[in-house]
Amino acid sequence: MSDTRARLEARAQQYQEWMCEEGYRARDPVWDDQADTWDVHVKYEGATLLLVFDVDDAGFVRILMPNFWTVEPEALPAALAALDLANKKCKCAKVHLNARGDDTIAAVEFLDQGDQMRPATLLRYLAMVVNAAKFFAGAMQEQPESMQPA
């Protein structure tokens, strides 16, 4: 195991422990061979989030909420409008469509602060991801009936 991979595993384990100490369910880090990342699955405020630690950029952390809203083809214009609104209004977190354009991903990306990183900061990032997803969902539900899927 490379030194970088081992250091990232330890960092992912630290984040996982913080989540558990804060009362959230977080699984042990899992190595993703395809992406060369350590991934930690976390249950946070009713959502399943993924913390991703990338070997190719060891100081970078990504928090994802994948596949939280399926987009039907006829709802694509409404989804694009909701994405735009969520990304304008929400701090730090962004909502994206997947490569196929049929599902959504909310994300926050940040530079790990090493020993200066604190659980409270991590919790704030997690809340930002969930907030962006909720904002998007609210915008989709407020669309005129003609823009909503049948």
Helix (H/G/I), strand (E/B), else coil: 15 = helix
- Residue 1 clears pLDDT 70, i.e. is over it: no
Only one residue has tokens 């992406």, namely 35
pTM: 0.90
pLDDT averaged over every residue in the chain: 92
Distance, in Å, from the CA atom of 87 to the CA atom of 101, rounded to the nearest integer, reads 17
- pLDDT, tens digit (0-9, with 9 covering 90-100), for 30-87: 999 999 999 999 999 999 999 999 999 989 999 999 999 999 999 999 999 999 999 9
Spatial contact of 113 and 125, defined as CB atoms under 8 Å apart: no
pLDDT band of residue 115 (cuts 50, 70, 90) is confident
- Collapse the DSSP code of 128 into the 3-class scheme (helix H, G, I; strand E, B; otherwise coil) and give the result: helix
- Cα distances (angstroms) measured from residue 91 to each of 1, 64, 124, 125, 131: 37, 15, 11, 10, 9
Q: Specify the pLDDT at position 148.
A: 46
Q: Which residues pair with 32 in a beta bridge?
A: 37
